[in-house]
Structure 1
């Protein structure tokens, strides 16, 4: 079997000026097309970066409403319900729904949180950095009462232009606070109680001292009256 190898040879020396002109035109067209492709790719990349930057600015400028439980700064072992706008702009028409509805050992005091305007009417406007705090419960009493320890809170609100924002859902779980070791912290209520105890102690001591002084005066007066007559 005979294998034939065919080699394509180009005799550039035999090319006419028209051939060279045609080659130059083709090469120029390819180069132009390549340049256009690069320009389109660069424009698409630039647009993507601009869109991402705009999206980031818009997200940073949006309100961001957070709800959570927090330690009460005054009442030891007290639990607060906190609503805060951690965004950069105003939040409007903030509405909070909780499943199941809030229940607390403090409800018997006549001010259940689930019936408060905060929960039933919402918040007309919540400026950036604004925080609203409501006393929710006290840990020892709640654990003993067997009340729900986990709630699902959904927050709906609008931006400063009245545009509805994506609803935010939070899992409020009190079990993470249960059985944790806390250092003993004394707040203003403890200080007030201590001052009342000190005041009571001083009053009792003053009363005892006054009674003792009166007793001694009476004893001295009685001794003077019983002395020898001249």
Structure 2
């Protein structure tokens, strides 16, 4: 039997049945190898897709704990420290570690955030979409006090089965909040302040009216000369 090279070098019309049989065998072997290679490539691609889909499902099912500084919902100049589980499952044993302890101009009020159980003991369990908010500082007071404007926070936690998750690192930078143009937005804090000022003004006006009423009544009764000054207030009663 001649080789494939010899077969290709001769006139096809001169091929014998044995030559055609040998050529068919070679072609069949070639197509078989190609078919097996394609099948292996398809199987490998399918496995990769399955692995990616499984990895995506696992990542979507994991807890995802985020920490950040945000504007207070009531007073825009106040800064809140926020911890939130943005994942789809329960997060356990959440621990927040900082490169330096929190400092705030509000520490003198007796409730420093750095000493709170949130920072010292962590969170035993944090359900999906659960959000914990703590007042951190007032922006203009902090800037004037020269306190640190940047912290690095590392969040360690476990999934619902108690398996340790990869720690997440966040850069909490307050300096980006300065020198930004903003539209003034009046919130509940501003409304309460305006109401207190209105109450104070009304109270002063009421006292002035009472004093003037007493003065005129005393003038009409002859007790007080018209040229006398305002009647001194003796109390808040009517």
Deviation at 1:19, TM superposition (A): 4.3
- 2: CA distance between counterparts of 1:12 and 1:92? 80
Could you say which residue in structure 2 is the equivalent of 1:226? none
Q: How does 1:160-179 map to 2 (within 5 A)?
A: 160-179=160-179
Could you say which residue in structure 2 is the equivalent of 1:113? 113
Q: How does 1:86-97 map to 2 (within 5 A)?
A: 86-97=86-97
Could you say which residue in structure 2 is the equivalent of 1:196? 196
- 1: CA distance between counterparts of 2:123 and 2:67? 13
Could you say which residue in structure 1 is the equivalent of 2:78? 78
Could you say which residue in structure 2 is the equivalent of 1:44? 44
- RMSD of aligned Cα (Å): 2.2
Could you say which residue in structure 1 is the equivalent of 2:126? 126
Could you say which residue in structure 1 is the equivalent of 2:10? 9
Q: How does 1:216-227 map to 2 (within 5 A)?
A: 216-222=216-222
Structure 1 unaligned residues grouped into runs of 5+: 1-6, 224-230
Distance 1:178 1:14, change over 3 A: closer
- 1: CA distance between counterparts of 2:172 and 2:119? 15
- 1: CA distance between counterparts of 2:175 and 2:206? 49
TM-score by length of 1: 0.85
Could you say which residue in structure 2 is the equivalent of 1:53? 53
Structure 2 unaligned residues grouped into runs of 5+: 1-7, 224-238
- 2: CA distance between counterparts of 1:72 and 1:91? 25
- 1: CA distance between counterparts of 2:186 and 2:80? 17
3-state SS, counterpart of residue 166 of structure 1: coil
Deviation at 1:29, TM superposition (A): 2.6
3-state SS, counterpart of residue 135 of structure 1: strand
Distance 1:157 1:14, change over 3 A: closer
**Matched positions, count:** 217
Deviation at 1:80, TM superposition (A): 1.1
- 1: CA distance between counterparts of 2:85 and 2:220? 74
Structure 1 ranges of 4+ moved more than 4 A: none
Query: Which string of whole-angstrom CA distances, capped at 9 and with x for unpartnered residues, describes residues 100-155 of structure 1?
Result: 11111111111111111111111111122221111111112211222111111000
Distance 1:219 1:48, change over 3 A: same
Could you say which residue in structure 2 is the equivalent of 1:149? 149
Distance 1:221 1:11, change over 3 A: closer
Deviation at 1:67, TM superposition (A): 0.9
Deviation at 1:193, TM superposition (A): 1.6
